[in-house]
Every structure is written in structure tokens, then in C-alpha cells.
Structure 1
């Protein structure tokens, strides 16, 4: 069974199943892990305060356990981001989604932006680092520069959005990021709620997609596939 050339398993393999709402409860985390394990997604992405519970619920699963650093505005001091990262890894995180200080990027403080990312990469001790650019707040030239700085700092992925700003991912921006740093992964996030939106992002070059509505997306696949 496929839809637009993708199997259900392939669709799930792109998804970072995400719960980052401030008011999310322990039951929300438990349900999210249940959905993620059943679907066999790439990873779950939770708030730092959820890591211990999530690690326990995941058990010996091979699913990635991601958390956020400097979230959602990226304005923490670099030392704070590095500490957040070290603590997250100690609590079981295998992936770190960090927010750049995009105010510094807009000001042209490229060395500070690169150093901020590099400090998180070092603190991650080999864990995957995804750099959230908050693309809705940036020009195309600034997005290109942010991608290049992420690559120079040793990051593994560039990511469009936190989901807490004025806009989310678009295929156009995903394609720009993928062509700028083809050797890095690209994570599309923010506003991706339907199966077609997810596939549009993948076809534009996304290698991961952040989504909170994983169950609904896969139900849509079941209804549309043939």
C-alpha cells in the first residue's frame, strides 16, 4: 500500500513525533510514546523536563529521544545552552534540537552564532544536533548564512522552525536549506498537520519532519493509500 509513492513505514520513518506545549501532562507524554512506538517513527521530541519519564517509557527501543535547547527563542547564553545539552544527554537524550540566537544572526554576528552552535555540538558528546533557524523570521540570505554556519560548527541537521513563531516550514524554504547544505539533514517543522504537507516537505528535501499529529497523518495514509 502506497500513497504518492510512499509506504506507511516510509512516512513514519521521517517523523519526529513532538510534544512541546507548555501545558502538556505526563499522560500526554505516555500517549505520545505509545503512538511513536506503534508507528515506529524516527524519534520523539519532548521538553527537557520530560526526558526522564520518556527514557523510562521507551525502554530499550531504538527510537531517537530528542529534546530542545534554548527553546523557543534561542536567547540563552551559550554556557546555558551547553549546560542544558550536557544535562539532556545525561538524562538519555540522543538528539538535541537547539535554537540559534537569530537576533545575533540578523545583526551579522556570525562568529557568535557559529560559536553558540559549536558549543552545543561539543556538549552533545556525539548526540545528533539539529539547529533550529526560525526561518519565518529570516530573509533567504540569512537562512543560507545560518545553514553555512551550522555546517561549519559541526551540526548534523538544520531545522526550519520551533512552531512557536510567526510561521513554520514551507517547501520553498526546505528546498533552499537542502540545496545550501546537501551534506546535512534537513528537518521541516511548524504547521505540518496533513499527509500531503509531510510528503511535500520530503519531496522538497526534508529528511525529518516534526509533527504532533502523527496518528492523524497515518490514519490519513490508511484512508488514501492503495
Structure 2
């Protein structure tokens, strides 16, 4: 796989709360240079990113209900509409994780559906198709809940299901931290559930070419990472691992 092809899978991400405008500008410059699919920034920086990336072909992605998913659906809708008005092309919304844990999947589906509907309508007014990705926070859910949430997202008309925010803090019964990002198992499960036509985004803890390839082979069609530039710069097109996919 060439670097140009690889870059088209990557959402170049900076969601740290301490990120300032200079870091966002640099993120956008890197995205232009490498031709990433998008930059993913917090809502406060959508306008700045849209200005920096105008005419580049790189999309502006932002997060909604982030990172907990515990805001009301109305808040998520308002946040989405505001982001789109400011120049966002893609919305990554966090689902109602508590509802999913409780098995209240009709609420999960309604939450997603209302955001998807609002995004598509707002995009239509601007003459563009807004992509909506649903963040499941897979590290907090069992396999059955992940399957049900994927089905909710699919029925609600979302474009992608996404693994993680990267901000969750799961712990084992011993109190020690557990992995909080994308896993090969979860990506495979999500792909098997949604089928071949819906997007699957792997995000959280993807910092190397080998991990990225593992996620693509598991079924991911988009990769969220804050290490996009490092991965591209260190990409060796001659290595076998890069030619497997």
C-alpha cells in the first residue's frame, strides 16, 4: 500500500483539552501535506479547521456528546447543527452508553436517529452530505451490547460505527486499568454485524503501522489516530506487513 492510499484511511485527530490554535493549525497543515481523510477536532476549532483546509479536499470532523455520551439528544442535535454551520463535514457522536449498558436499545437508536436526521437535513441545506459516525465506547460494553448498538446505528441510518473515544477509563475487578481503545476483536465483531456496506472506524491506541494494518484487516474502513503523521513518515512500502492488505 502506498502512503497516498494509506493516508485516505486516516482521520488525523487532536482532541486533547489543552490543545491550542497553533496545534490545530499544525494538524491541518499536516493533513494537507499527507492527504488525510479528515482532521478530527473539538467543536470549538471547527471554524478554524474549515478555514485552514478550504480547497484541500480534507474533511473537517468533530465530536458530539463527547466524551461521555451523557448529554441529552436535544443537546447532541444542537451541537451537531452548530458544528455543521461552522463548517463540519463529519460528526462523530457518542451514543448513550448508560442506556446501552442497561439494555435500553430503543433509546440508543432514537438518540442516534435524531442526530442523523438533523445532520442530514442540515447538510442538505448546504448542498453536502454529512457523514455521521456513532462512537460505541466498546471497552465499556460486552459483545452482545456492541452487536445491539451496531444494529441500532445501522437502523438509524448512521454511516459508520466507531470503537472508542480514547477517553474512557475502564478498570478490572482488581482496580487496575484495562485497555480503552480499539481492539481487533471488537472491529471484527462490528464489521460482521453491520455488513460490508457500512463504515467501521477504529480509534484509540492506534500508534503504529502494524496496529493500523491489523485494524484494516479486521474490517475497519477508517482509522482515527493522533499518530497519523508519524505512521506516514515511518511507512515502508517494501515491508511485507504493508503489502498484506
Is the CA contact 2:103–2:145 (under 8 Å) kept in the aligned structure 1?
Answer: no
**Separation (CA, whole Å) in 1 of partners of 2:80 and 2:214:** 31
The CA RMSD measured in Å over matched residues stands at 1.2
For 1:203, the equivalent position in structure 2 comes to 217
CA deviation vs aligned residue, 1:2-22 (integer Å, no higher than 9, x gap): xxxx21112111100001000
**Separation (CA, whole Å) in 1 of partners of 2:185 and 2:236:** 27
- For structure 1, list consecutive stretches of 5 or more residues without a partner in the other structure: 1-5
For 1:193, the equivalent position in structure 2 comes to 207
Cα distance change, pair 36–113 in 1 and its aligned pair in 2 (3 A): same
CA deviation vs aligned residue, 1:175-226 (integer Å, no higher than 9, x gap): 1101100121000000000011001100110000001111110122048659
**Separation (CA, whole Å) in 2 of partners of 1:82 and 1:88:** 10
Q: 2:66 aligns with which of 68, 71, 74?
A: 71
What TM-score results when the alignment is normalised by the length of structure 2? Answer: 0.88
Are residues 1:88 and 2:101 paired?
no
For 1:168, the equivalent position in structure 2 comes to 181
For 1:158, the equivalent position in structure 2 comes to 161
SS of 1:221's equivalent in the other structure is coil
TM-superposed CA distance for 1:172, in Å, is: 1.1
For 1:121, the equivalent position in structure 2 comes to 116
Paired residues for 1:1-226 under 5 Å: 6-125=1-120, 126-166=129-169, 167-182=180-195, 183-222=197-236, 225=239
CA deviation vs aligned residue, 1:105-155 (integer Å, no higher than 9, x gap): 111111111010001101112410000000000000110000000001110
Is the CA contact 2:191–2:220 (under 8 Å) kept in the aligned structure 1?
Answer: yes
The aligned length equals 221
CA deviation vs aligned residue, 1:86-114 (integer Å, no higher than 9, x gap): 00110110100000011101111111110
What TM-score results when the alignment is normalised by the length of structure 1? Answer: 0.95
- For structure 2, list consecutive stretches of 5 or more residues without a partner in the other structure: 121-128, 170-179, 241-245
SS of 2:40's equivalent in the other structure is strand
